[in-house]
Amino acid sequence: MADQASEMAGQALPAHGEFVWTEIASTDKDKCIDFYRNVFGWEFQQSNATQDGMDYREFSNDGGHPIGGLYQIDPAWFGGNPPPAHMMIYIAVDDVDKSAELAAELGGKVHKTMDIPNVGRMSIMEDPSGGMFATFRPKM
């Protein structure tokens, strides 16, 4: 994601509402990397967008521009009760905070809004039926 944000510098931002990133939260990172590498030919590289030594792998389908990331779920992040493995789609927005406010007004839930070092700002949300997604605006 850091590489993607730096590639966007000086270019037009993704359009509001455009899908921009896919993230895989895994309960067995190594097994999943091997699985996706063999099924889709994805290539994985260590990301520079994490802190505290988190092992976050960006993936691409051609060895170039990353299209998503994969990480190991740490049960400690969830008080010992982690969610199951899942995928999260990131959607570009013009303003992360305003989009979160609007989502909450319209019956959604905002779980977390945060800055991603060297990358941008994001918010994890839930639609009124429980569908999870994230919004994102790259740092420019």
| Closest to 16 (Cα-Cα) out of 124, 139, 120, 99 | 99
- pLDDT exceeds cutoff 60 at 3: no
Beta bridge partners of 124: 112, 134
pLDDT value at position 11? 64
| Closest to 28 (Cα-Cα) out of 76, 72, 59 | 72
Side chain identity at residue 59, one-letter code: F
- DSSP states along 67-102: -EEEEE--GGGGTT-PPPSEEEEEEE-S-HHHHHHH
CA distance 87 to 37: 16
pTM over 0.85: no
pLDDT value at position 2? 47
Q: How far is CA 140 from the centre of its chain?
A: 18
Sole residue written with tokens 């994490």: 50
Architecture of domain 2-138: Roll (3.10)
Sole residue written with tokens 């921009």: 20
pLDDT value at position 81? 92
* Tens digit of each residue's pLDDT (9 = 90 or more) over 41-77: 999 999 887 777 789 999 999 878 899 999 999 999 8
pLDDT value at position 19? 96
* Tens digit of each residue's pLDDT (9 = 90 or more) over 77-123: 889 999 999 999 999 999 999 999 999 999 999 999 999 888 899 99
| Closest to 72 (Cα-Cα) out of 113, 20, 22, 32 | 32
pLDDT value at position 102? 98
Domain definitions of the chain by residue range: 2-138
